[in-house]
Each structure stands twice: as structure tokens, then as C-alpha cells.
């Protein structure tokens, strides 16, 4: 099964490259959870890095390499190829994580069961994250996708929910908590509408603790919130 966002544009050879890498890894006896394309942001000209936790530290590996595959801790959904047998054995992505971390949660879940994930440098995908991108210093220079305030809610809710329910290393838990704190400062204090963003972040944390998922429904007289 190949996953693609509506605005992603795969290179002509992307599917063939993913299938070839998947077959080679399986022939070598590797327990493959999924293989994924390398994303290129058409707006900024940047190519995504491969993220992996090594001895308690996050490594961001260059994806522009001659290596046929690079092991990763997670893959973004768009451009990811998953065997049907893997989905049947370990389950589908949890739609309750709409719209953030649905891929992260699945990757962490299958890795906890011993499966391995690989980014394939030879498989390229044109893909854009966020409404626009700004370059900021958050411990290092990084390009941060800027979304609508509603996405702040999903990011905070789903991260908290994932931390409480999904198996992951202590190092990854600390990393996700630290990332949320950075986002709270950057988006809550630096991006308008600030009060709306802070309100939705707070609501996201509360709903994440309560285990709520699905689409955000703004409370109205006589109506409840999302469940």
C-alpha cells in the first residue's frame, strides 16, 4: 500500500525505487515495517533528513547519499509504502490521531514490535509542509512549517495522547516534551493570533490527557466538544 497526500508529487521512479528497496531488504531477511521516500520541499529547496535516536540523542542524517537505504525511527505518511501483511499483523494507522502524528504513532508502534523502517534516498517526492515556512533558531537553525491555530490543537493533543499510550523510549518521550515546549513558545508568543493559539494548545493538552481524538469541534451552545 502506498500512502500519498493530495498535494504530493512523486518522482517518476519513486514507486519502482520503493518496491526494489523493500524487496532487497526482505530478501536479506530484514523485518521491514515500511519504506519511505525522501521529501523535497519545492518552496524552500530543502530535502528532508532521516531522523533516528542513537544512544539517547536524536540524529538527523542527510538523505542525499549513495546509500540504497537509511534506517529511520519514523517516516512521514506521504510517500510511505507498507506491505498489506504488515498492516494486517500490526494494525492500521489510528484515525483518532487526525491530523498530526498519525504516522509517528504507527511507526513507534510497529518498531516496538521489532519491525524496521527505512528511508530510500533513490525515491524522491515533492512535498510541502505547512501553509508557509519560517527559518528560526530553536537550539539549531531549522525551518518550521507554520499552520493555522487549529493545527496547534492537534499537535498538542496528539502528542500528549501519544506520550500516554504509545510505547517509545524514554529519550523519545523527553524529545517530544521538549519539542512541545519549543512550539508553545514559538507559536504561542511569536505567531498571531496568539491568544487563540494558546487557548487551542491548552485545550489540546487537556483533551490529550482525556484520550480524545478525531476532528476538532468548536464548542457551541447545546453541543459538546470532540470525542
**For 14-67, what is each residue's pLDDT tens digit?**
999 999 999 999 999 999 999 999 999 877 788 999 999 999 999 999 898 889
Task: Report if pTM > 0.95.
Answer: no
| CATH code for the part of the protein at 2-126 | 3.90.550.40
**For 129-183, what is each residue's pLDDT tens digit?**
666 677 767 666 677 778 899 999 999 999 999 999 999 999 999 999 999 999 9
Contact predicate 222/173, CB 8 Å: no
The three-point CA angle 119-120-126 to 5° equals: 90
Burial class of 4 by CB neighbour count within 10 A (0 to 12, 13 to 18, 19+): middle
DSSP string across 38-58: EEE-TTT--BPPEEEEETTEE
Place of cell 534506517: 71
Average pLDDT, stretch 72-91? 97
> Would you say residue 223 has pLDDT above 70?
no
**For 209-221, what is each residue's pLDDT tens digit?**
999 999 998 754 3
Domain ranges of the chain: 2-126, 132-209
Amino acid at each position: 500500500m502506498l500512502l500519498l497526500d493530495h498535494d504530493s508529487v512523486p518522482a517518476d521512479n519513486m514507486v519502482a525505487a520503493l518496491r526494489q528497496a523493500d524487496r532487497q531488504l526482505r530478501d536479506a531477511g530484514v523485518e521491514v515495517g515500511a519504506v519511505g521516500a525522501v521529501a523535497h520541499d519545492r518552496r524552500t529547496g530543502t530535502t528532508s533528513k532521516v531522523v533516528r535516536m542513537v544512544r539517547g540523542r536524536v540524529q538527523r542524517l542527510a538523505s542525499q547519499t549513495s546509500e540504497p537505504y537509511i534506517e529511520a525511527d519514523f517516516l512521514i505518511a506521504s510517500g510511505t509504502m507498507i506491505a498489506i501483511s504488515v498492516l494486517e499483523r500490526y494494525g492500521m494507522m489510528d484515525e483518532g490521531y487526525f491530523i498530526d502524528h498519525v504516522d509517528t504513532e504507527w511507526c513507534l508502534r510497529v518498531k516496538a514490535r521489532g519491525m524496521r523502517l527505512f528511508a530510500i534516498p533513490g525515491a524522491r517526492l515533492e512535498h510541502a509542509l505547512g501553509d508557509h515556512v519560517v527559518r528560526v533558531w530553536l537550539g539549531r537553525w531549522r525551518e518550521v512549517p507554520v499552520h493555522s491555530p487549529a493545527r496547534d490543537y492537534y499537535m498538542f493533543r496528539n502528542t500528549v495522547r501519544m506520550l500516554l499510550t504509545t510505547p517509545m523510549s524514554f529519550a523519545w518521550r523527553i524529545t517530544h516534551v521538549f519539542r512541545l515546549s519549543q512550539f508553545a513558545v514559538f507559536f504561542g508568543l511569536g505567531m498571531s493570533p496568539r491568544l487563540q493559539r494558546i487557548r487551542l494548545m491548552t485545550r489540546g493538552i487537556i483533551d490529550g490527557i482525556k484520550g480524545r481524538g478525531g476532528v476538532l469541534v468548536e464548542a457551541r451552545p447545546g453541543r459538546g466538544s470532540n470525542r
